[in-house]
Structure 1
Amino acid sequence: MLAATITILAVIIIFIYIFPEFHRSPPGPLNLPLLGSLTKIDQKVPTLTFIKLKQKYGPIYNVKLGLTNIVVISDATLLKDILLRHDCLPRPPCHIFNKIFHNKGISYTTHDPWKNQHKFIANFIKTSKVLLENQIQKSAAEFVQNVQTQGLRVPLHTVEVITRYVVDIMGTVCLGIFNYDDALIKTLSHSFNQLLSGASTLITTTSIQWNLLYRAQHQEVQNQVRQELHDVLHGKTLHIDDLSKLSYTQATVAEVDTIRTLLPLGFPRYTSQNMVFLNYTIPASTMIVPLLWGIHMDPGVWKMPEEFRPGRFLNDAGHFFQPESFLAYQAGERMCVGKDLANIMVVFFVATVVQNFKIEGLESGSVDLSYEWSFLTLPKPQELVFVQL
């Protein structure tokens, strides 16, 4: 009798595990005991699998990777709704990152210290505009000098001069240190800092690479940015207060963030308790994965998303705006705290380069805009030519 009861319970548990719809979970592929959907996931490019599952199961679906329960969301409205919930604020536990950050980093900690750190960084960026502006201007000018020194041809895959630019500014935010040649700053460029990690440097550097590539490929866009800079600045030095006047330049940066979403799977969240969402039951300790690539490349939301169209970020009056479905920095309390700083850095960099150089591809003026996925959307190694104006 006991054996029969145990057998029946085991069958029920396995049945629920394999067919999660019976306990009102979001739809999804068949989950095998212990393995879940691991056998169906592309181990090298999981993003590709998640996109295919979106096409089959819709904007919210459930998968299991081993014993880890995952809900993937690829609709902007749904994603905002769930990221704004307090029972979905934590990050998934990650022993590697917790060891590096001592469970104190903004991006990865699951506990309360991130709140104070988030406020500190946000307040620093707001109150230290002059300090940041001076460093950004200095670093951008040094980039121009470095390109000129190297004979106007910079290998994009080494990006040493771009990394210097980003690290100098990150050093200003983190430690108030300005010299890349300082041993501590060099160390920070290759490892994580507790407040702003090396990931921030890599993400911003990659964003700048994509911005250079798209300007090299679309000369008409590059020319229009250059004309806007001329009309707004009249040959003067760019200041942070000028950014609001550079609507088209801002639009080109936002379009790059969309067509080549840097974090295709975003930064995941973690449910702190059982929750009901859209009449689905999502258990505690479920990983919430924002499929940002699926949101930004949805033809039902963005007209011709594969085409480079900065105009989609300009309203009828020609002013820069961000559509509701633009989620490059996610949403909610834990949205990217460095979004304003990153945007300022990229726009300053692009503006400075376009003011001083014509950017071209090395081979017959064309560039390779194909990409590779790791945790980032990375450009292929190639060279660009910077022609002095």
Structure 2
Amino acid sequence: MAIVKDFLLQIPSTVACLGAVLFLLALYRLFFGSSSEEQGINPPGPRPLPLLGNILIMDLKRPYRTLCKLSKKYGSVFTMHFGPKKVIVLAGYKTVKEALVNQAQDFGDRDITPVFHDLNQGHGILLANGDSWKEMRRFAMTNLKDFGMGKKGSEEKILEEIAYLIEELKKHEGNALDTSKPVTFAVSNIISAIVFGSRFEYTDPPFIAMVNWANENARLMGSASIQIYNMFPWLGPWIKNLMVAKKNIVDWKSEVMEIIRGLKETLNPEMSRGFVDSFLVRKQTLEELGNMQSLYHDDNLVFSVTNLFTAGADTTGTTLCWGLLLMAKYPHIQDLVQEEITRVIGSRQPLVEDRKNLPYTNAVIHETQRLASIVPMSIPHTTSRDITFQGYFIKKGTCVIPLLTSVLHDEGEWESPHTFNPAHFLDEQGRFIKKEAFMPFSAGRRVCLGESLARMELFLFFTSLMQHFRFSPPPGVTEDDLDLTPAVGFTLGPLPHQLCAVSRPSTFSPLVPVLRSRG
């Protein structure tokens, strides 16, 4: 009787365990299970665990490193499971180009992760889909061109801001400083001038706040806790970084609305000062025509502005910070850059038209973008229909990660992909050469809207700073001590550091005639 009694007592726990196993198997089938007959041949990948997927093998702070490593085992198209979510990873130049360029329509939609939805609610340009995205992107492209983005009008704005930046750096008289602050302020002012119609003083509290919110959110989006939230949204109330990011967006939206209110009060339909003015005029015109349900509403305006501000400031500012750090790290390359600038330009202000005559300097800028790879996983895409890609079936609505860092560091495309080597962009005669695998702005339908502006900014800011200053480590720090490990973030900036910006004489003798260096 005792044995029977013990058995009966164990039944509830046994049933519970069996139920749990069956439940997990059902979930596994729901999220991961599908026969080859139903879906065709699926891309290979590491075997997922129920619910957890492949989370246990991921470096959540730097997931791009895990994905690059796995691509060597599973190939250029493989499957990952971020928690219960299936994701297709594309690695290497040829595969990413085939998807984003050759099959641009199929891979052209944006995957809206939970955090992206929380922060943008489907509005704006960067994190939206459908008719709203198409209209906002079209309007932005047209109007930003009208305001000179990537043209002479932008060059004038950049040259004006360069003068302010140089004066700001000179105030430190060659002493160590955090160069990221003034550089980010300067770059942010370019997009501010285009969007709002005017620049801000570097000491302006609202401006400082907007820049800080943008920088902090770019960092938070790459944190491990936000990655976990995207996999398991129900954890949201317990994730501190999410709360901070949401508050930043609320504050940022409030500040932008205040600026927009001021612009609305002084709006002149006959003379647009910037993107906001053009949007307000279009909105007003449509309302007068009785179209009260148009896409030109306050949410699309505010989020378009914040998207442009973030994309236009954070990425370019981060790249410039990498450039200055690399010059301090590799002084012999800085020597060659400054020699070329002195020989070709002298002491006058560099202009965009000088780019063709500064092949080595141009190569250094491109190599900085390539090595830094500041948006390593791009912004996730999603498939717009059921497709077959390189023999694999990918279902409509599947998240796709174009692994841009695998393109910029593709061992089949670059001689020394993991070292700083400007010769990647120079031929045997020292002439600049374009490389198809140079894809820092992504490609296809979602290519960076401000690429032409960013290229202009990088050239003008970098050459002007090299012309006026010598960048070096602070006293007591050697070149070898400068750490090139990227910080954690959605965009990869350098770790916090200081540099000395020592003013250079206006004229000086050439250093060396050689323009080609192996870095």
* TM-fit CA distance, 1:20: 7.2
1:312-327 map, 5 Å: 312-327=424-439
Partner of 1:134: 156
CA distance in 1, matches of 2:376, 2:355: 27
Partner of 1:374: 489
Q: What's the CA shift string for 1:205-245, capped at 9, x where partnerless?
A: 21111000111112222122112222332322222222233
For the 8 Å contact 1:299–1:305, the answer to whether it is kept is yes
* TM-fit CA distance, 1:332: 0.6
CA distance in 2, matches of 1:101, 1:314: 41
- Work out whether 1:14 is the aligned partner of 2:29: yes
Partner of 1:264: 376
- Residue 37 of structure 1 aligns with an amino acid whose one-letter code is N
- Work out whether 1:295 is the aligned partner of 2:295: no
Q: What's the CA shift string for 1:124-148, capped at 9, x where partnerless?
A: 5545133322221121111111111
- Work out whether 1:173 is the aligned partner of 2:197: no
For the 8 Å contact 1:69–1:285, the answer to whether it is kept is no
Q: What's the CA shift string for 1:87-125, capped at 9, x where partnerless?
A: 221111234434544523222112233334434444455
For the 8 Å contact 2:173–2:502, the answer to whether it is kept is no
Partner of 1:225: 337
CA distance in 2, matches of 1:104, 1:317: 49
Where structure 2 has 5 or more consecutive residues not aligned to the other structure, the ranges are: 1-21, 215-251, 253-302, 505-519
- Work out whether 1:348 is the aligned partner of 2:369: no
Name whichever of 18-27 and 207-216 sits farther off.
18-27
For this pair of structures, how many residues does the alignment match? Answer: 380
CA distance in 2, matches of 1:223, 1:123: 41
Residue 62 of structure 2, aligned match among 40, 45, 57: 45
SS in structure 1 opposite 2:81?
strand
Partner of 1:3: none
Question: When you count helix as a share of all residues, which structure comes out higher?
Answer: 2
- Work out whether 1:159 is the aligned partner of 2:141: no
CA distance in 1, matches of 2:451, 2:80: 30
For the 8 Å contact 2:384–2:396, the answer to whether it is kept is yes
Q: Summarize the Cα distance change of 1:291–1:20 in structure 2 as closer, same or farther, 3 Å threshold.
A: farther
CA distance in 2, matches of 1:187, 1:263: 23
- Work out whether 1:33 is the aligned partner of 2:55: no
Aligned-residue CA RMSD (Å): 2.6
SS in structure 2 opposite 1:87?
coil
- Work out whether 1:97 is the aligned partner of 2:116: yes
SS in structure 2 opposite 1:168?
helix
Partner of 2:294: none
Q: Summarize the Cα distance change of 1:261–1:237 in structure 2 as closer, same or farther, 3 Å threshold.
A: same
Partner of 1:276: 388
SS in structure 1 opposite 2:88?
strand
Q: What's the CA shift string for 1:50-79, capped at 9, x where partnerless?
A: 122112111110112233221111121211
CA distance in 2, matches of 1:120, 1:321: 33
Q: Summarize the Cα distance change of 1:63–1:42 in structure 2 as closer, same or farther, 3 Å threshold.
A: same
- Work out whether 1:65 is the aligned partner of 2:87: no
Q: What's the CA shift string for 1:339-375, capped at 9, x where partnerless?
A: 1211211221111111111111121344222223322
* TM-fit CA distance, 1:288: 0.9
Q: Summarize the Cα distance change of 1:290–1:373 in structure 2 as closer, same or farther, 3 Å threshold.
A: farther
SS in structure 1 opposite 2:401?
strand
CA distance in 2, matches of 1:116, 1:287: 23
- Work out whether 1:211 is the aligned partner of 2:326: no
Superposition TM-score, scaled by structure 2 size: 0.68
SS in structure 2 opposite 1:333?
helix
For the 8 Å contact 2:190–2:199, the answer to whether it is kept is yes
CA distance in 2, matches of 1:108, 1:320: 35
